[in-house]
């Protein structure tokens, strides 16, 4: 009887403290959301500094051909940026492959501007005292799809193939921890520390809210980050070998995730922790 009473008391204590933890988590999430709301205005969101820098880079003449990116075709015609991000990744006949925005920008830099992109790729992710042309360009172009719906293209056989490859990668386990994307993002109610983990395995609101909010300004990093960085960092945290920048594997995974997020309304750059 004593053991039973002790067990019941212990269970009650654990239940009490788990309830306190849940309340604390909810309170923390509300405070985070309140903070995001405070700086979500373009005049307060530091991510819009990247948008402005990207607009300048888009029109700047560079490379051996001394031309700007204003004739770069992002899928809707040469130089057209409004709505282009909402429909990417997509198949580009001139490149013979499905490309996400970063891949396409690198292709245009090399083929339209005649630019040696070695330095651009070296600075693919910004850091203290080191700007990233690609992050800034993505911020500018993605912002031109604000208010539009995610409508990734899946008509071409290559686009359908990339969606299938991306789904396979989402569930593929590996690395020293035997993790996959699905380990964290295929169930309801999962958290890492105080951060809720969206279920991306089912089409609908959670993947829509997730994919429609990148690129984002990361407060903890003091920098704007793209989905390329998010996926790179996810693989790093899983202890997988990190993917090459602008690789076909990252593009395939993005196609699959945007397929799950079809119809989500884009609002970028957002604010995240």
Cα 196 to Cα 63, 81, 187: the distances in Å are 44, 33, 11
Whether 169 shows a pLDDT value over 50: the answer reads yes
Dist. CA 258–CA 231, nearest whole Å: 13
pLDDT at 2: 52
**pLDDT tens, residue by residue, 100-111:** 999 999 999 999
Q: Predicted confidence band at 5 (pLDDT cuts at 50, 70, 90)?
A: low
Q: What is the mean pLDDT of residues 145-161?
A: 98
Q: How much is the mean pLDDT over the chain?
A: 90
SS3 217: strand
Number of residues in the chain = 273
Cα 20 to Cα 8, 13, 156, 188, 205: the distances in Å are 18, 11, 52, 21, 28
SS3 263: coil
Establish whether the linkage from the previous residue to 15 is cis, with ω within 30° of 0: no
**pLDDT tens, residue by residue, 18-65:** 455 445 555 556 666 666 566 556 677 999 999 999 999 999 999 999
Whether 6 shows a pLDDT value over 90: the answer reads no
pLDDT at 17: 46
pTM (predicted TM-score): 0.86
Exposure of 167 in the CB half-sphere (CA atoms within 13 A): 10
Burial annotation 175-205 (CB, 10 A radius, 16+ → b, else e): eeeebbbbebbbeeeeeeeeeebbbbbeeee
Q: Which of 269 and 32 is assigned the larger pLDDT?
A: 269
pLDDT at 195: 80
Q: Predicted confidence band at 1 (pLDDT cuts at 50, 70, 90)?
A: low
pLDDT at 8: 59
Q: How many H-runs (helices) and E-runs (strands) does the chain carry?
A: 10, 7
The C-alpha angle with vertex 204 and arms to 202 and 206, in degrees rounded to 5, equals 85
List, by residue number, the catalytic residues.
Answer: 234
Q: Where are the beta strands (DSSP E) in the chain?
A: 90-92, 97-99, 191-192, 195-196, 216-218, 223-225, 270-272
């Amino acid at each position: 009887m004593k053991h039973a009473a002790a067990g019941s008391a212990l269970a009650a204590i654990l239940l009490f403290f788990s309830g306190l933890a849940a309340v604390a988590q909810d309170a923390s999430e509300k405070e985070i959301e309140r903070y995001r709301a405070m700086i979500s205005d373009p005049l307060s969101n530091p991510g819009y500094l990247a948008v402005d820098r990207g607009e300048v880079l888009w029109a700047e003449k560079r490379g051996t051909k001394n031309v700007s990116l204003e004739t770069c075709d992002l899928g809707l015609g040469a130089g057209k940026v409004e709505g282009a991000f909402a429909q990417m990744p997509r198949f580009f006949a001139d490149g013979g492959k499905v490309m996400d925005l970063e891949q396409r920008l690198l292709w245009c830099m090399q083929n339209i501007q005649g630019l040696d992109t070695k330095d651009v790729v070296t600075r693919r992710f910004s850091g203290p005292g080191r700007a990233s042309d690609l992050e800034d360009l993505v911020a500018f172009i993605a912002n031109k799809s604000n208010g539009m719906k995610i409508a990734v293209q899946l008509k071409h056989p290559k686009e359908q193939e990339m969606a299938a490859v991306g789904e396979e990668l989402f569930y593929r386990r590996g690395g020293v921890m035997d993790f996959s994307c699905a380990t964290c993002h295929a169930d309801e109610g999962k958290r890492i520390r105080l951060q809720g983990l969206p279920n991306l395995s089912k089409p609908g609101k959670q993947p829509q809210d997730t994919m429609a909010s990148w690129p984002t300004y990361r407060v903890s990093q003091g920098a704007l980050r793209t989905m390329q960085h998010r996926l790179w960092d996810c693989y790093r945290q899983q202890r997988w070998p990190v993917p090459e920048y602008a690789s076909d594997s990252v593009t395939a995974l993005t196609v699959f995730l945007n397929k799950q997020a079809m119809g989500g309304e884009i609002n970028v750059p957002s604010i995240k922790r």
